[in-house]
C-alpha cells in the first residue's frame, strides 16, 4: 500500500490540524475539503468534529455533505467519524433537541448522567488499549447492524462502532498515541482492501 489519499471534511467546527498530522505521520496524502463532489469521489473520507451537534448538522447541510455521507454508509464506502463525527451519524442528540442527525445508525445521543464529571476529558480504556476522550454526550448502547466496543464513565457507553470499512469513534484516535495510530492504520488497510474487491 503506497501513499493512500485521505480526504478530511472541513466543516468549520473541527480542529483538523491534529487529524491531518496523524495521517501524514502514517505516510498518507491528505486533502482538506468542503466540496461535496471531492468528498463523494474520495477513497478514504474522514468526518471529524468538535463542538455542537446543531452546528455540525448545519455545516453538513449547507455544503451538501450530509447526502454524501449517507451515500457512503449505504454503499459501505470507507468513512471514519471522530467524536462529534460519530454523533452526527445518529438520529438525534439531547444537545440539540429537534435537530435531526444523519440517521445512518439507529441511535440517539444522550448526556452523561447527573453527578458524572463532564466533559470526560482524558484517557479511558477501550478494549486492549487506552484512548483520549473529550465528550459530554455519548451513545449508550451499540445499535443494531453495527459492531462496537464499550468504555466506562458513569456506566457503560459506546467507545466506537464499525461495519465493514466504516469506523466511528467517540474518542480521538489522532490523539491516542501509538494505540490510536495502530487503529488508524488498520482502518486504512481494511478500507483499501474493501475498495479493491
pLDDT at 197: 40
Domain 5-195 in this protein, CATH class: alpha beta
Q: Rounded to 10 degrees, what is the CA torsion of 50, 51, 52, 56?
A: -40
Distance CA 10, CA 49 (A): 9
Percent of the chain with pLDDT over 70: 97
Catalytic residues: 83, 172, 174
Query: At CA 170, angle to CA 168 and CA 176, rounded to 5?
Result: 100
pLDDT on residue 194: 59
Question: Are residues 50 and 59 in contact, defined by beta-carbon separation less than 8 angstroms?
Answer: no
pTM for the model stands at: 0.95
Res 178 pLDDT > 90: yes
Percent of the chain exceeding pLDDT 90 equals 91
At a CB cut-off of 8 Å and minimum separation 6, what does 23 contact? 6, 8, 30, 46, 174, 184
Dihedral in degrees, nearest 10, Cα atoms 125, 131, 132, 133: -60
Spell out the residues 6+ positions from residue 12 whose beta carbon is closer than 8 angstroms to its own. 34, 59
Q: What is the DSSP string of 20-65?
A: HHHHHHTT-EEEEE--HHHHHT-SEEEE---S-HHHHHHHHHHHTH
User: In the prediction, which pLDDT does 171 show?
Assistant: 98
Rounded CA-CA distance 60/141 in Å is 25
Mean per-residue pLDDT over the chain, rounded: 94
The label of the residue with cell 435537530 reads 99
CB 111 within 8 A of CB 118: yes
Q: According to the model, what pLDDT value does residue 14 have? A: 76
- Give the cell for residue 55: 452546528
- In the predicted structure, residue 158 carries a pLDDT above the cut 50: yes
| pLDDT of 49 above 90 | no
Residue 13 predicted with pLDDT over 80 = no
Amino acid at each position: 500500500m503506497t501513499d493512500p489519499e485521505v480526504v478530511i471534511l472541513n466543516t468549520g467546527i473541527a480542529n483538523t490540524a491534529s487529524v491531518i498530522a496523524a495521517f501524514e505521520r502514517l505516510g498518507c496524502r491528505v486533502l482538506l475539503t468542503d466540496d461535496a463532489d471531492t468528498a463523494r469521489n474520495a477513497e478514504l473520507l474522514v468526518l471529524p468534529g468538535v463542538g455542537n451537534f446543531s452546528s455540525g448538522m448545519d455545516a453538513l447541510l449547507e455544503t451538501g455533505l450530509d447526502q454524501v455521507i449517507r451515500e457512503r454508509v449505504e454503499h459501505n464506502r470507507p468513512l471514519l467519524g471522530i467524536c462529534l463525527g460519530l454523533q452526527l451519524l445518529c438520529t438525534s442528540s439531547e444537545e440539540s433537541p429537534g435537530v435531526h442527525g444523519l440517521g445512518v445508525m439507529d441511535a440517539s445521543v444522550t448526556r452523561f448522567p447527573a453527578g458524572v464529571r463532564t466533559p470526560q476529558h482524558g484517557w479511558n480504556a477501550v478494549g486492549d488499549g487506552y484512548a483520549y476522550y473529550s465528550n459530554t454526550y455519548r451513545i449508550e448502547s451499540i445499535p443494531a447492524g453495527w459492531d462496537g466496543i464499550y468504555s466506562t464513565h458513569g456506566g457503560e457507553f459506546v467507545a466506537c462502532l464499525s461495519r465493514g470499512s466504516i469506523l466511528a469513534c467517540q474518542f480521538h484516535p489522532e490523539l491516542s498515541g501509538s494505540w490510536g495510530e495502530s487503529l488508524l492504520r488498520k482502518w486504512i488497510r481494511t478500507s483499501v482492501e474493501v475498495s479493491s474487491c
